[in-house]
């Protein structure tokens, strides 16, 4: 997978992506049980290393 070079995406596209991302993070954090945070962290680390 390649990264997008600087200057390819316009500012409105970047801002729209940031807003959508912030909404997704807010939605995800709203439903996250604090007891499950360590499990989610370990699973995320395993998936990151496995990739």
Assess if residue 37 is contained within a domain: yes
Assess if residue 40 is contained within a domain: yes
Could you read off the pLDDT tens digit of each residue along the chain, which spans 51 residues?
A: 578 888 899 999 999 999 999 999 999 889 888 998 999 899 999 999 998
Assess if residue 1 is contained within a domain: no
**Of 15, 9, 1, 14, which is closest to residue 51 (Cα–Cα)?**
1
Count of the separate structural domains present in the chain: 1
SS3 33: coil
Assess if residue 45 is contained within a domain: yes
Assess if residue 15 is contained within a domain: yes
The model scores a pTM over 0.75 = no
Assess if residue 6 is contained within a domain: no
| In contact, 36 and 44? CB cutoff 8 Å | no
For 19, the domain range is 11-50
Start-to-end C-alpha separation, the chain: 12
Neighbours of 12 (CB within 10 A): 8
């Amino acid at each position: 997978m390649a990264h997008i070079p600087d200057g390819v995406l316009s500012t409105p596209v970047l801002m729209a992506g940031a807003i959508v991302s912030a909404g997704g993070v807010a939605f995800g954090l709203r439903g996250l049980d604090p007891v499950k945070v360590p499990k989610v962290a370990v699973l995320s680390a395993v998936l990151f290393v496995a990739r």
